[in-house]
Amino acid sequence: MKARVTVMLKDGVLDPQGEAIRHALGALGFDGVGGVRQGKVIELDLADGTSEEEVAQMCERLLANTVIESYRIEMV
């Protein structure tokens, strides 16, 4: 069993990496990009029977800084 966790900065939190990517894309000639938000994807190999609630606890305690980040869990 696997879980995919996507962690992103919350709306309103400054994203300097995303801004650097947007700027670099513009320098490469991709002028149609108005904004970029950069995040991370974490894939977990889980024991059978691991619940989505347990994965949420992992996110709350370690994988995401819930003050400035949000997360989405996808069981795959």
pLDDT of residue 50: 97
Q: What is the CA radius of gyration of the chain?
A: 16
Q: To which CATH superfamily is domain 2-75 assigned?
A: Phosphoribosylformylglycinamidine synthase subunit PurS (3.30.1280.10)
pLDDT of residue 30: 96
Q: 23: Cβ–Cβ under 8 A, 6 or more apart, which residues?
A: none
pTM for the full model?
0.89
pLDDT of residue 22: 97
For the chain, what are the domain ranges? 2-75
pLDDT of residue 74: 98
**Residue pLDDT, tens place only, 22-67:** 999 999 999 999 999 999 999 999 999 999 999 999 999 999 999 9
